[in-house]
Chain A
């Protein structure tokens, strides 16, 4: 008689399986018992701070703040947790996202994006070397680019009629 190979008898290991489940359940359940208060409190504590304090709502706000910082090098950061240099770099880094969140054309976006990517690298290097905001704004072409961004934003505002 030919021996037919069947997969293992499913009920042979059943008792050991369920013993394992019960053991594991026994270990975990006491922890599960004291759960409700922590659940509620953790939800209540959830702060929902999705943006950093110095996040500008629009590219127009970013441009305005950058102009402000580049003109007044003694300015202080709007976020007490970071330096004004860090705020300036962050604003430039966020420009592509803010530009994408506006009606700016692809051409304008690409120009802003390219400028942002290169400038952030350069500024990071300068800040790592201990340079301050007044040194940063003196970098070749930075002020003129900030002014150019302000021009782009002004034209866009004229066209759309609102920062929204």
Chain B
């Protein structure tokens, strides 16, 4: 029982921390919808009740950096703004699936055609599901409640800030918690390593298995795209990869509960059943055509270990191991977001209990008309520094700002190649030292980090329009495969194998460095001191096809 409990705690904590950045973004977006756009503005943003609502839901969903947990508060606001159910569900499925960073990552990791097909299939599903919902349940929107106008200036900033705290301590957080409970339940049900052979290329049940697992799992868009790329590289089932993308990234227990409680059980179950059917049909259709050629299928994969219980067996020290696992999975940005989320929750709780009559918000929104008129007058005569911008200007700047922020975020997330090289060199030194000490936990800590940087190197080169040559890409691929073999050896605590793959990985790393930066690579320097024979061989005869 200890094993189940601590396993669930680890998986729930890891998911919670990973989700914090996008949850905070979700609260902010929800607050902006509520206090800046208002109900009418939000409805207008999503195209009102016209044919434009679904395409707008796609575009906004792709631009907003939220996950399937962070999207819940936004969906709550959309519902309150009188947006049609089909549009809300389409947005709820699209937003977690894609964002600029993850699509870029996917394009460089897998076959671009496959990623394009995945995107198109996902958008088809989202559109069909939205249309079906609106057809099955016409006029499924509620009349938007009237909100007091938010005044301009510092009070508006205050109202949005307080609204963010209120979003944090609201029903949407309960749905988020419910989704995390789903993650815990999944880890209780799936023993460690249970899914290692669940996505075999020729396993016809792989998409079905993945559908069952992915519905409860929580996956961030980045993790999903990395896992899908890994499935392509390992020759796993493409249908299972597609199912994982749509259901794993888009659906979770909290979202299902939200749909059930807002639209009643029967329509929600019918919708979910139809979604499953559609996803599985498309998954089986694309499985063979998209299967990568020339990839040797691996006999097992560790890509899905994160959904299973982390502990293969019980014993003393589970609590310490759990804490160490949680701590090792934290990244700096996630930790900062977790602190921010906690702060917002505390302020939200304080506001909820200390101000049940809404006096704080009342003060911030108070005497709107008089004040805004005064300010408007003042700005026109140039006595006030504030100017009142038309809503269209604010909306346009928000939209362009979102695009600009996405571009900047891409460049920040994928630093220049020189920076990545420095990080990799440092990590490599640590990894080698830990291998020499057979420190299994540290080895398992460094390998995913090193893999992540190796992936980033390819994306960074692509982003900066200096794509890697085929030679460099192959060196990178060889390095990644050696890292993976080292990981397998370390998992089994095989000292001899670790020695072997450490040596191989080290050699592959030095070759990668030389290939990336020949003039500074260490072996390039040593080769200068050794005489090199000039190769005199003919050229290969390349057959014409």
Residues of A participating in the B interface, judged by any CB pair closer than 8 Å = 2-10, 12-14, 16-17, 20-21, 24-25, 28-29, 31-32, 35-36, 38-40, 42-43, 46-52, 55, 93, 96-97, 99-101, 103, 105-106, 108-115, 118-122, 139-141, 144-145, 148-149, 151-152, 155, 158-159, 164
Contacts and interface: CB of A to CB of B under 8 A. Distances in A.
Interface in B140-177: 145-148, 166-167, 169-175, 177
Nearest to A49: B299
Contacts of B492: 48
Contacts of A2: 148, 362, 365-366
Contacts of B57: none
Contacts of B174: 10, 13-14, 17
B477 A100 contact: yes
B358 interface: yes
20 contacts: A2-B366, A3-B146, A7-B167, A7-B172, A8-B170, A10-B169, A10-B173, A12-B171, A14-B174, A17-B175, A35-B191, A36-B313, A39-B193, A97-B474, A101-B478, A106-B515, A108-B535, A151-B538, A155-B535, A159-B533
A43 B312 contact: yes
B253 interface: yes
Interface residues of B, number: 74
Given A32-B4, A39-B191, A114-B540, A159 B532 contact: yes
A110 B362 contact: no
Given A100-B478, A114-B542, A151 B194 contact: no
Given A100-B478, A155-B533, A111 B173 contact: no
Contact of B545 (A49, A122, A148): A122
Interface in B443-495: 469-471, 474-475, 477-478, 485, 488, 492
A135 to B, nearest CB: 14
Contact of B196 (A46, A55, A106): A46
B261 interface: yes
Interface stretch (B62-70, B181-189, B394-402, B423-431): B181-189
Contact of A96 (B170, B194, B196, B474): B474
Nearest to A51: B296
Interface of B: 3-4, 34, 76, 145-148, 166-167, 169-175, 177-178, 181-182, 185, 188-189, 191-194, 196, 253, 257, 261, 294, 296, 298-300, 309, 312-314, 352, 357-358, 361-362, 365-366, 469-471, 474-475, 477-478, 485, 488, 492, 507-508, 511, 515, 532-533, 535, 537-545
A10 B170 contact: yes
Nearest to A2: B148
A152 B535 contact: yes
Contacts of B545: 118, 121-122
B4 A50 contact: no
A69 to B, nearest CB: 18
Given A4-B357, A7-B171, A42-B196, 16 more contacts: A2-B362, A2-B365, A6-B361, A7-B166, A10-B174, A17-B178, A21-B178, A28-B188, A50-B488, A97-B478, A110-B471, A114-B542, A115-B541, A118-B544, A120-B294, A148-B537
